[in-house]
């Protein structure tokens, strides 16, 4: 294995000069820099990661802690993070918590032990974090979910606005009993999307009926299916359903099919999160797509900015959302002219 001394000897410079060139430190003449670079290439020199870690006090590695890599949302987010990390000379370590706060803590401890350069965290909890693990020694960016007991850079989407727009669209088609399949996990995303659901109802003069909101384990299609079947079995069942994410959407569509109902004639559907094949459904699905790649990209850029300047003020970045109207809400449930409708 080629050493720094061999590179220095071939280039005719000191090992300190080689180190400055390898770490892109100024105060090296252009001629010396070129001779070092030529020697590195000729000798196929690869710097030791361990030695570099000792010099710069952290690795060129970013830790990513998410809840469920099988969720297509996180698959795309991860790609956005990795692209930015790789472009800037960082590698990525991925950890999966299954929404378990204890596993999250273990992974945070591992990240600290490995002295990673920074962490991007989609936390399983809003509060209750160990301040020793989120104390600023290693930069952390909160992803997709708020962490309220520690001041952190955060990137999210406009959950309230996205949900409100989707439910208002259903209401505009005359639906007055709108069910929601939400999350049983204590997540800020669930609370905010339920807030958006409630705001839309309030704008139309309708109360929130707790019996129309069902909580599912949003990682499991089967549980979302069970909750949707319960809603569809109500004596006065909802005429429309709003789903929390792509997993609850799949469970809901399965339940509707099992009941032999037609979309949108028997029940309309609007989803938070889009599916790659949503346009192939019959009818195509109305949805609020999340800019998942952009979310990951933004999180990585915020983390790199924090690594470069640890003392900068913390920032929160919320990405805007738009409703994509297709045909799954197309049936008009408004009463004919002259016929009163109960609210």
Does the structure show a pLDDT above 90 at 134?
no
Q: How far apart are CA 254 and CA 248, in angstroms?
A: 10
Return the structure tokens found at 79.
């790609």
pLDDT at 340 over 80: no
Residue 52 has pLDDT above 90, yes or no: no
Is 55's pLDDT higher than 90? no
Segment 11-50, tens digit of pLDDT: 998 877 887 788 777 778 989 999 988 998 898 887 655 4
Residue 51: beta bridge partners?
A: none
What integer pLDDT is reported at residue 136 of this predicted model? 77
Pairing relation of β-strands 286-288 and 268-272? parallel
Positive or negative, the CA dihedral 25, 30, 32, 33 is positive
Q: What is the pLDDT of residue 56?
A: 47
Overall average pLDDT of the 195-220 stretch: 96
Cα-flanking dihedrals φ and ψ of residue 66, to 5°?
-125, 175
> What's the pLDDT score for residue 299?
98
- pLDDT of 269 > 70? The answer is yes
Decide: helix, strand or coil at residue 215. Answer: strand
pLDDT at site 57? 53
- Assign 4 a pLDDT band (cuts: 50, 70, 90): confident
Note whether 317 and 298 are within 8 A (CB): yes
Domains and CATH numbers, the chain: 4-47 (1.10.260.40), 57-151+292-319 (3.40.50.2300), 159-288 (3.40.50.2300)
First-residue to last-residue Cα distance in the chain: 78
Q: pLDDT tens digits for 56-114? A: 455 799 999 998 888 889 999 999 999 999 999 999 999 999 989 999 999 999 888 88
- pLDDT for 58: 58
**Percentage of residues of the chain with pLDDT beyond 90:** 66
């Amino acid at each position: 294995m080629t050493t720094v001394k061999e590179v220095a000897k071939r280039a005719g410079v000191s090992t300190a000069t080689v180190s400055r060139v390898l770490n892109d430190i100024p105060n090296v003449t252009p001629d010396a820099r070129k001779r070092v670079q030529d020697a590195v290439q000729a000798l196929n020199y690869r710097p030791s990661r361990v030695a570099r870690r000792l010099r710069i006090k952290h690795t060129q590695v970013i830790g990513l802690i998410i809840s469920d890599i099988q969720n297509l949302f996180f698959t795309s987010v991860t790609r956005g993070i990795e692209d930015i990390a790789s472009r800037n000379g960082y590698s990525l370590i991925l950890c999966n918590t299954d929404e378990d706060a204890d596993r999250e803590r273990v992974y945070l401890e591992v990240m600290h032990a490995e002295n990673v350069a920074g962490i991007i965290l989609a936390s399983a909890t809003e509060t209750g974090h160990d301040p020793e693990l989120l104390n600023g020694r290693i930069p952390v960016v909160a992803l997709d979910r708020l962490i309220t007991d520690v001041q952190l850079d955060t990137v999210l989407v406009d959950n309230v606005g996205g949900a409100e727009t989707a439910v208002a669209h259903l209401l505009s088609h005359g639906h007055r009993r709108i069910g929601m399949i939400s999350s049983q996990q204590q997540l800020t995303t669930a609370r905010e999307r339920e807030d958006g659901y409630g705001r839309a109802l309030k704008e139309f003069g309708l109360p929130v009926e707790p019996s129309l909101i069902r909580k599912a384990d949003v990682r499991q299609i089967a549980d979302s299916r069970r909750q949707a079947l319960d809603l569809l079995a109500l004596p006065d069942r909802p005429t429309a359903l709003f789903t929390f994410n792509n997993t609850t959407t799949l469970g809901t569509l399965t339940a509707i099919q099992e009941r032999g109902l037609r979309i949108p004639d028997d029940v309309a559907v609007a989803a938070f999160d889009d599916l790659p094949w949503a346009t192939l459904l019959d009818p195509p699905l109305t949805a609020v797509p999340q800019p998942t790649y952009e979310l990951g990209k933004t999180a990585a850029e915020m983390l790199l900015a924090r690594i470069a300047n640890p003392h900068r003020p913390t920032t929160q970045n919320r990405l805007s959302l738009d409703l994509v109207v297709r045909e799954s809400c197309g049936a008009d449930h408004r009463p004919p002219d002259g016929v009163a409708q109960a609210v």
